[in-house]
Structure 1
Amino acid sequence: MDDMFRFADEFGPFKIIHVYEPSADLKAVLVVDNIARGPAIGGVRMVTDVSTEECFRLARSMTLKNAAADLPHGGGKVVIYGDPRMPQEKKSQMLRALASALRYEEEYIFAPDMGTDEICMACIKDEIGRVVGLPCEVGGIPLDEVGATGWGIAQATEIVLQYCDFELKDARVVIQGFGAVGRHAARFLTQRGAILVGAADSRGTVHDPDGLDVDTLIRLKKEGKSVLDYPGGKKFDSNAVIAIPYDIWIPAARPDVINENNVHLLNTKLIIEGANIPITGKAEKTLYEAGILYVPDFIANAGGVICAAAEYQGATQCTAFGSIEEKVRKTQLRYWKLQKRKESSQGKLHSSLP
């Protein structure tokens, strides 16, 4: 019994539900972490390997993210156990079964996440209607298609660079994970003068110190190909993306990709957490001690949920993007002013949490 509650604290989780529907081959977990500010918003993630505890950690990240952005929502997360590359028909069947099973869990609002998209959210809308990140055709804002999270990452990066000794123009950027978050972050940052010198996906890494063409990489990914199919640059395995020399490193893939075993390989001045919980607690401590700045996930990648909350209130995409810019910049400035007061005796500014 004690082991069941090993990750609970005074803030949550409010509720954990395991869903099993054999007729749809569905196994899933819902964690509603905290609803003090309102109904929880959090994405539906489809992966093959994740624990209930990791789902809780992702939900907690959403609680912090929504509170930091001053949204009237708590944090939650759903994980579906499955290969996101499965046929759309089977995926839709699983999502409909999930929505039906959670029909009366009104403390949770569905949203897209890794492995799901606006088409998946439309399936949930058909069943229960309590969902954001919908296609434009049904009055929604397709979060992944428009790049809401990537837009927020660009805003957070511009603000934190006020505390760095280099500018965004000509800054060398490397992105781990070139999916819905990574590709839009690359697009918005290069539009502002940064140079993408490295990109990685599950199949490998491509690196060119003179710069990669973002449009070409985006086209390849939309065609279902890998960054390894990029015509040029040097190719490495997926893990090599950590050790490439760069100014800004953006993890936009899975949780815990940086840990105590590989944190020493990072060769960067600044980390912007595009993914949720991409760095373990021990690795965060190492970064703190090394004086490497990083913007935590609950600030850096809040653009998606800010847009989702705006959609839930009936806002347009233009209004939602304005809200992302305002809230991310405001939260970032508040956070860094706090950190400025906690400079070490050596004069270094650390970005990790107390």
Structure 2
Amino acid sequence: MLNYADDLGPLKIIHVHEPSVGLQGIVVIDNIAIGPSIGGMRMAEDVSTEECFRLARTMTFKNAAAGLPHGGGKSVFHGDPAMPKQDKERRIRAFACALRDTVEYIFGPDMGTDEECMAWIHDEIGRATGLPRELGGIPLDEIGATGWGVRHATEVALEFCNLGIKGTRMVIQGFGAVGMHAAKFLGEQGANLVGVADSRGSIANPKGIDIDALIGLVKSGKSVIEYEDGEKQNQDALIDIECEIWIPAARPDVVHKGNVERLKTRLISPGANIAVTDEAERFLNNKGIICLPDFIANAGGVICAAMEWQGASEIVAMQTVKEKVRHNTRRVLEDSRADHCTPREAALKLAEQRVRAAMRHRRWSAF
């Protein structure tokens, strides 16, 4: 565990095991100098402590960069999100109960979890965001809060590519709540979806994919590869599709040293956290391809969650997402140009300054 430690954190790494329901979970509370940590709960079959720490650290920077009164944390647990609902519910309720007294961490939805999962946590311990409307929450996945932020980050970044949104080609890797809504919101502004992938494969159509039809297909429980008007390919082929906007919206490290040279795009706008490795980001920057920092581009979900926690309305929350994401995207890209550094380096400087300033006001720097 100490391999992850530096002067920012993590404050706590907690492993939770409840064999009666098959629960194996991890919580990382990275830094709470600014306030209690807030971050999503991820369910997948390949999660790890290292991934959880990296995601928690990303949340520290994301919340700080967005000016939220929250530190960074993350939780993950092992399991297939498609398991029977009653089994999933038992694991999530057990996970929540195990963390009842870990008040430094506030749950939110993430990959493999949704508003109903947050309702179960709320019922057990009353400490979750992204709740269903009937519980007074703002359903982050239903309204597409993260995708809404990705749309606005992308629009601002296209200005730095000397491109407008209308007629630009986009490729989206991952078509869950984030990818689906990013496609919808950007499509409404005139972007053209030419490639998309999920866990079963990818489809491509240089003439364009009908976004509404694809969303309907996926919401009916089918894979994107069942979309008829497109060339079916494997997942890996998606990176070879020529476009102006490439949006990774699923797993970590999908763009890396081994495939980054194959990208044919002008802009990467991450809908997922830690989707591009540091080495790949440096390569893209040297090639003049803008790669937005994940914790800037996809901050919409946690901004909305923090607003919900403070009692804001859905309308106010979505307007705040728009304002914060557009402002931070422009600032980071302007600072990157002025300081001759990568966008990530500019964003990290902004976020770290805010975290360290908060730490100076604390008796103990980490808690």
For normalisation by structure 1, the TM-score amounts to: 0.96
Which of the numbers 122, 135, 141 marks the counterpart of 2:138?
141
Which of the numbers 304, 317, 322 marks the counterpart of 1:307?
304
Moved more, 63-72 or 323-332: 323-332
1:353 partner amino acid: E
2:24 is matched with 27
User: Matched residues in 1 for 2:343 and 2:53: separation?
Assistant: 24
Residue 86 (str. 1) matches residue 83 (str. 2): yes
Residue 73 (str. 1) matches residue 70 (str. 2): yes
Residue 62 (str. 1) matches residue 54 (str. 2): no
Which of the numbers 178, 188, 191 marks the counterpart of 1:191?
188
Deviations 1:99-149 (A, max 9, x none): 100000000000000000000000001100000000011111110010000
User: Matched residues in 1 for 2:155 and 2:239: separation?
Assistant: 22
2:27 partner amino acid: L
2:218 is matched with 221
1:351 partner amino acid: P
User: Matched residues in 2 for 1:46 and 1:238: separation?
Assistant: 21
1:256 is matched with 253
2:343 is matched with 351
Residue 238 (str. 1) matches residue 218 (str. 2): no
> CA RMSD of the aligned region, Å?
1.0
Residue 48 (str. 1) matches residue 45 (str. 2): yes
Deviation for aligned residue 1:82: 0.6
Moved more, 66-75 or 48-57: 48-57
1:123 is matched with 120
Which of the numbers 156, 160, 166 marks the counterpart of 1:159?
156
Which of the numbers 254, 277, 284 marks the counterpart of 2:274?
277
2:6 partner amino acid: D
Deviation for aligned residue 1:343: 3.9
Deviations 1:157-212 (A, max 9, x none): 11112211221110000000000000000000010011111110011111111110
Moved more, 162-171 or 113-122: 162-171
2:22 partner amino acid: D
1:209 is matched with 206
1:108 is matched with 105
User: Matched residues in 2 for 1:59 and 1:227: separation?
Assistant: 30
Deviations 1:236-294 (A, max 9, x none): 00111111000100000100011111111111111001100001111112112212111
1:12 is matched with 9
Deviation for aligned residue 1:352: 4.0
1:298 is matched with 295
Report how many residues are paired: 346
User: Matched residues in 1 for 2:309 and 2:123: separation?
Assistant: 16
- Percent of pairs with identical residues: 58
User: Matched residues in 1 for 2:265 and 2:158: separation?
Assistant: 14
1:188 partner amino acid: F
| Stretches of structure 1 lacking an aligned partner (at least 5 in a row) | 345-349
1:334 partner amino acid: R
2:118 partner amino acid: M
1:347 is matched with none
Deviation for aligned residue 1:6: 1.1
What SS does the corresponding residue of 1:353 show, helix, strand or coil? Answer: helix
What SS does the corresponding residue of 1:184 show, helix, strand or coil? Answer: helix
Question: Are 2:47 and 2:77, in contact at CA under 8 Å, matched by a contact in 1?
Answer: no
Deviation for aligned residue 1:24: 1.3
2:66 partner amino acid: A
Deviation for aligned residue 1:351: 3.0
2:252 partner amino acid: P
Which of the numbers 175, 178, 190 marks the counterpart of 1:178?
175
Deviation for aligned residue 1:13: 0.5
User: Matched residues in 2 for 1:352 and 1:19: separation?
Assistant: 33
Question: Are 1:174 and 1:250, in contact at CA under 8 Å, matched by a contact in 2?
Answer: yes
User: Matched residues in 2 for 1:138 and 1:225: separation?
Assistant: 29
What SS does the corresponding residue of 1:193 show, helix, strand or coil? Answer: coil
What SS does the corresponding residue of 1:341 show, helix, strand or coil? Answer: helix
1:10 partner amino acid: D
User: Matched residues in 2 for 1:213 and 1:353: separation?
Assistant: 37
User: Matched residues in 2 for 1:352 and 1:328: separation?
Assistant: 15
Question: Are 1:43 and 1:78, in contact at CA under 8 Å, matched by a contact in 2?
Answer: yes
Question: Are 1:288 and 1:352, in contact at CA under 8 Å, matched by a contact in 2?
Answer: no
